[in-house]
Amino acid sequence: MSKSLLLLTLFLIISPNGWAQATVREEQPNLQGSPSPPEQTGKAAIRDYLQSWKNLSSALEQNRPELLDSSFVGIAREKLSETIRQQTILGAHSIYRDRAHDIQIVFYSPEGLSIELTDKVQYDLEFVDHSGVKMVQHLSARYVIVLTPAEVRWRVRVFQAEPE
């Protein structure tokens, strides 16, 4: 395995509902000139980001925006809250099951107030409409995530997928 693709850290995520674990691969940072975060900072940001998937899934499954609060802030929280509002109006909900993450730190701001990750995520989406009909799709996308520090954790401020 090439050095640039090294640093394979395997985390195991067990969802609150006990579904299959997601594998997590952590690439070496590709900072291209921006400062390098302290090792513990990078690990904490990735840990909190992975937790955000659990909270995202719970919030969109139960249509409870308050479940976003511990992981999301700013624009990311506003957009996800709006999705929950739309789902509530439709009588629908969605379940996101992350299967695999391939994460890389791509930017760390010099004053330490933000960190940016990319994540090639594979996940399953189960959308249930008002009549209980389930629609399922396996998806893979490259997410761009910006986190900012809160009191005791990193929170996701930008959570955006783009074509791989």
Q: Which residues of this protein are in contact with another protein, per CB under 8 A?
A: 32, 34-35, 56, 60, 75, 79-80, 82-83, 86-87, 90, 92, 94, 96, 106-107, 109-111, 113-114, 116, 118, 125, 127, 129, 133, 135, 137, 139, 141, 144, 146, 158-163
Give least dist CB 117 to another protein, A: 9
Nearest to 73 by CA among 151, 161, 147: 147
Beta bridge partners of 163: none
Return the number of the residue (1 or 110) whose C-beta is nearest another protein: 110
Give least dist CB 54 to another protein, A: 14
Return the number of the residue (13 or 158) whose C-beta is nearest another protein: 158
Give least dist CB 41 to another protein, A: 15
Return the number of the residue (44 or 117) whose C-beta is nearest another protein: 117
Return the number of the residue (1 or 60) whose C-beta is nearest another protein: 60
Q: Coil, strand or helix: which one is 107?
A: strand
Beta bridge partners of 11: 24
Which residue matches tokens 């395995």?
1
- C-alpha 153, offset from chain centre: 14
Give least dist CB 48 to another protein, A: 17
- Rounded to whole angstroms, the Cα distance separating 92 from 128 reads 6
How far, CA to CA in Å, does 41 sit from each of 2, 13, 46, 72, 114?
A: 25, 20, 9, 18, 11
Give least dist CB 87 to another protein, A: 5
Return the number of the residue (66 or 82) whose C-beta is nearest another protein: 82
- Kindly give the residue spans of alpha helices, DSSP state H, lying in the chain: 39-62, 74-90
